[in-house]
Amino acid sequence: MSGIKDRVAIIGMGCSKFGERWDVDSADLMVEAAYEAFADAGIESKDVQAAWLGTVSSFRTGQPLAAALKLDYIPISRLENACATATDAFRNACYAVAAGIYDIVLVMGVEKLKDSGFSGLAIAEAPGSDVAPPAPPPAQFAMAATRYFHHYDIPYDEGRQTLAEIAVKNHHNGTMSPKAHFQREVSVEQVINAPMIAWPLGLYDCCGVSDGAAAAIITTPEIARSFRDDYVLVKGLGLAVGAFGMLRNDWDFVHFPESVRASQACYQEAGITDPRKELDLAMVHDCFTITELIIYEDLGFSPRGKASEDVAAGTFSLEGELPVNTDGGLKCFGHPIGASGIRMIYEVYKQIQGKAGARQLAKADLGITHNLGGRPGSFTCSVAAFGARD
């Protein structure tokens, strides 16, 4: 196995404004993201030879992408894999480029969630016996928080404080992201005193549900050189799918094996041995504050049970040792499910190029994205690494 490292390059990216986009539909969102990516890469839509489309609930086929961009009868695959949808679409596209099948490929992620009239996620399931508890994502992840506090003997107030500090950090980063859904600071007190959504998680412990699209143009490093000097290289692509947690009495609810395995696969491919030291930034799946806390441990940033100490020390802030969710994360940039993974790649790409504006890091040569889709006990997890060219 030769792996994906340094075999695929990103030469252009685009990201729509995320948020409650009452004014546009999913086709508009795709046009917004795609034409920014085309301009960034210096290509036209007719140069695209194949496309992958990630979306969870907006549509079922590749046709809407062809229709929106008037692509010329090219192959388009539509892909869905929970919250890792966009990164998995990106991953599949990378393999087609690395295999030498196509030179210029478009990856698009899009989601139009706000037309449901419902504040949470309204995703239809296949017909079934419908006996599973009506537990939306906040209730599912809150169970991990309850257990985490219990497992590590963390008093409730202390646990809530730690989670609040994660939300405060991501809100702060979001103020520097013009395309983010939410762009305002919040205080620890505001987070702690907010209405409960699913105890012990309050309103500010939950990410935004948003409309948005993000796009990437990928090619081989050889071709990339003819487009730009500051292309970004794919260093690793890990994907782990598990669905066994609830079948096991010995699964502890305080670690997500899918995150552990996907990150290990990615690190191995990318040649990363000490992520906390080697990574310059990480964009992780902070659907809820507790998720980000557990991710710190699953991805090897913090020792087990010690993530709270790193949060208190500011390790993951913009100025910290390993900045996490520099653009505000799902919490503030928003979470149009099928677009989120590419939005994360967009941030790593911009940081590596030194184009991240007010939130630009001093050093950004190696970063990862992490998506976690499903619920505790049953996840699709993707971890992808990106680096500057040598």
Report the nearest approach of other proteins to the CB of residue 252 (Å): 9
- For residue 289, the minimal CB distance to other proteins (Å) is 14
| Extended strands (E) in 70-191 | 76-79, 105-111
With contact defined as beta carbons under 8 Å apart, do 322 and 94 qualify?
no
Q: Which is nearer to other proteins, 12 or 242 (CB)?
A: 242
Question: Of 51 and 144, which has the nearer Cβ to other proteins?
Answer: 144
Which 8-state DSSP code applies to residue 380?
Answer: E
How would you list the strands of the sheet with 281-283, edge to edge?
76-79, 50-54, 105-111, 212-219, 9-15, 232-242, 378-388, 366-375, 281-283
CB of 248 to other proteins, least distance (A): 6
Using the minimum distance from each CB to other proteins, give the nearer residue, 380 or 382: 380
> Is 127 or 178 the residue whose CB approaches other proteins more closely?
127
Let me know if 381 is a catalytic residue: no
Q: Which residues pair with 66 in a beta bridge?
A: none
In the complex, what is the shortest distance from the CB of residue 114 to other proteins, in angstroms, rounded to a whole number? 13
The torsion region of residue 130 among left (phi > 0), alpha (psi -120 to 50) and beta comes to left
Q: What is the DSSP string of 22-88?
A: TT--HHHHHHHHHHHHHHHHT--GGG--EEEEE-SSS-SSSHHHHHHHT--S--EEEE-BTBTHHHH
Residues forming contacts to other proteins in the complex (CB under 8 A) are: 116-120, 122, 124, 127-136, 138-140, 142-147, 150, 195-201, 244, 246-249, 253, 377
335 is catalytic: yes
Provide, rounded to whole angstroms, the least separation between the CB of residue 253 and other proteins: 5
List 171, 335, 370, 381, catalytic entry: 335
Of 124 and 362, the one with the shorter C-beta distance to other proteins is 124
Contact 335, 85 (CB under 8 A): no
Specify whether the CB–CB gap between 202 and 191 falls below 8 A.
Answer: yes
Tokens 């020792």 found at: 303
> What is the DSSP-derived secondary structure letter of residue 249?
T
| CA distance to 94, 292, 319, 331, per residue, from 203 (Å) | 37, 16, 26, 11
Three-state secondary structure along 55-71?
A: CCCCCCCCHHHHHHHCC
**Shortest gap between Cβ of 306 and other proteins (angstroms)?**
21
Judged by DSSP in three states, 269 sits in: helix
Whichever of 27 and 142 has its CB closer to other proteins, that residue is: 142
Residue among 83, 94, 332, 381 flagged as catalytic: 83
In the complex, least distance from residue 197 CB atom to other proteins, rounded to whole angstroms: 6
Q: Which residues have a catalytic role annotated?
A: 83, 335
